[in-house]
Amino acid sequence: MATNGTDSLANFWNLSLNSLQVSYTSVIIAAAILWVVWTSATSYFRTRGRDRFPPGSFGFPIIGDTVQYLLATKSDVGYRTWVQKKVAKYGPLFKWRFQGMPVVMMDAPGGNKLLFQNDGTLFEVYWPVQMATLLGTDTLSVVRGERHKVLRRHLSRFFDHASISRYLKGVDQNAVEHFAHHWADKGESEVELVPSKVIKLFTFSIMCNLLMSLEEGPEMETFLKHFVKWTNGLLSLPINLPGFTYYKALEARKHIYQIIEEYVEQRKREVAEGRLSERAKVDVLTSLLTVPDEGGNLLSDSYICDNLLVFLFAGFDTSSGALDMIIHFIGKHPDVYEQLVQEHSSIMERKRGEGKDDFLTSEDLLAMKYTWRVIQETLRLQPPVGGVFREAIEDSEHNGYIIPKGWKLMYNTMCSHYDPKFFKDPMTFDPSRWEQPPVPFTFIPFGGGPRTCPGNEFAKMEMLVFIHHLVRRYRWSVTDANEPIIRDPMPRTEKAIKFIKVTSSI
């Protein structure tokens, strides 16, 4: 009996091993067949399309450059190096593969012009799966066609010149309170801060107040923690398993959505009962709830929640990344700081000479010409958004190459912002270069065409106000000139900076 049992066990293991060998053999054969098909197909397309498809390589089957690209976007040097290697090998117009999709990186200025001028006709917006899921399916950033046009017209009024003028005093007051609460250090002459951390508080509080009349406090701090986790997942591998960044971002989105939904429900009750605060009467949430679209229809709660989320992202993370980089570059260039101080001193002297109070006006912002050049140069060297995808909705042609329907396209700021043909000595921080306008379609930190960032003028105002109050109060320098710039996904630095209070009366 023991022998029979041993024989049965041996037979079982032999059968199992044989099954495993068959399985492994099947996998190997299937992989070999796929590889043959892949190489044959790519060889065919290389031969057939040598003069028809853009140059480049699709890399490994399916994944292509996905991993390399996502890793590269984690740092300034890595991202720039990835782009420059591709350009050096294939030229400014090249193809690659991302998450299984054939992608054409467009050249500047011609490719960018083609993309922006035909957005909505030859091309439509496209977001990789993880970004589309995290952003939401019914947001201004994601919807296409006529729906996008209607929504943009409906929402753009919140960021037109008249609206920005109304927002200015609130943003200015917010900046005064921000520096008093988060920078002042018990009256001491200096304070040591990690800029990215305090700037996030500034931009997030402004957007929360503007959109929902949410003031600073424990609730906002919790909201911000969820929001940071959410943004970290936008350029992560779409792996929805515990421990992965994308999983954490999805969980954070649930918390964010719950918070926004509670505010929507609360505001709907306040509107119905006629007990709105003066601030809530003019914030974006009340307008979204009470102002109908072109068809006379009020917006759904889910649409309002989705777009409040995107508005928060657009006004918070991109602006905080830009301001962090502005502090970084000013700290490395004392001459730039001195010119900024001179400009803002002149503005304050003029205001006081005219008997006006210290609150900024639209006229004051127009006088900040050098400050705007500093912002432009920062956005050239460290644009918060490195590039955005589009999808070809029909076959198109560019520079003699065919871009087939269904392929993805991407404009990339690095391709033109660092090109010496368009910007002399591109690695040099030089605000004076903006005394002359750039070649069209080469400076694209806010995108272009019908999908130009609708909040770009608001972001400009927000940054001008912050710099005004910063240089009036502090001077600083960057101690480590070689500190690496991290992207997650926006650019930031990690080291603390010592800010010294100035005694000037500007």
Give tens-digit pLDDT for 251-266.
999 999 999 999 999 9
Q: In whole angstroms, what separates CA 219 from the centre of its chain?
A: 24
DSSP SS3 for 212: helix
Query: DSSP character for 55?
Result: S
- Separation of alpha carbons 356 and 225, rounded Å: 39
Comparison of pLDDT for 184 and 46, the residue scoring more: 184
- Confidence bin at 43 (pLDDT 50/70/90): very low
- Separation of alpha carbons 65 and 201, rounded Å: 35
- Confidence bin at 275 (pLDDT 50/70/90): confident
- Provide the b/e sequence for 326-357 (b: ≥16 CB within 10 Å): bbbbbbebeebbebbbebbeebbeebeeeeee
Angle between helices 301-332 and 456-473 (to 10 degrees): 40
Please name which of 223, 440, 471 lies closest in space to residue 343, comparing C-alpha atoms. 471
Whether the predicted pLDDT of 51 surpasses 80: no
Tokens of 326: 């502005």
Cα distances (angstroms) measured from residue 316 to each of 160, 208, 276: 18, 9, 25
Query: Residue 491: enclosing H or E segment and its boundaries?
Result: strand 491-492
Query: Residue 125: enclosing H or E segment and its boundaries?
Result: strand 123-126
Tokens of 464: 């001008």
Tokens of 459: 């972001």
Q: Note the pLDDT of residue 29.
A: 53
- Confidence bin at 1 (pLDDT 50/70/90): very low
Beta strands in 127-185 (DSSP E): none
Q: What's the mean per-residue pLDDT of the chain?
A: 86
Whether the predicted pLDDT of 362 surpasses 60: yes
- Separation of alpha carbons 347 and 471, rounded Å: 12
Average pLDDT over residues 318-347: 95
Confirm whether residue 453 is marked as ligand binding: yes
Whether the predicted pLDDT of 46 surpasses 90: no
In this structure, of 80-84, 187-191, 202-206, the range with the lowest mean pLDDT score is: 187-191
Q: Determine the residue type at 251.
A: E
Beta strands in 308-368 (DSSP E): none
Cα distances (angstroms) measured from residue 476 to each of 177, 340, 414: 21, 13, 28
- Confidence bin at 15 (pLDDT 50/70/90): very low
CA end-to-end span of the chain: 100
pLDDT above 70 coverage of the chain, percent:
88
Whether the predicted pLDDT of 385 surpasses 80: yes
User: How would you classify residue 91: left for phi > 0, otherwise alpha for psi between -120 and 50, otherwise beta?
Assistant: left
Q: Note the pLDDT of residue 401.
A: 95
Q: pLDDT tens, 53-98?
A: 999 999 888 889 988 988 888 888 888 899 999 999 999 999 999 9
- Please state whether beta strands 94-98 and 474-476 pair in parallel, antiparallel, or not at all (unpaired): unpaired
Residue 326: partners with Cβ closer than 8 Å, 6 or more residues away: 374, 375, 378, 463, 467
Comparison of pLDDT for 506 and 118, the residue scoring more: 118
Whether the predicted pLDDT of 325 surpasses 90: yes
- Separation of alpha carbons 49 and 56, rounded Å: 12
131-501 belongs to which CATH class? mainly alpha
Q: Note the pLDDT of residue 7.
A: 52
Q: What are the boundaries of each domain within the chain? A: 131-501
Whether the predicted pLDDT of 173 surpasses 80: yes
Q: Which of 7-16, 140-149, 316-325 has the highest mean pLDDT?
A: 316-325
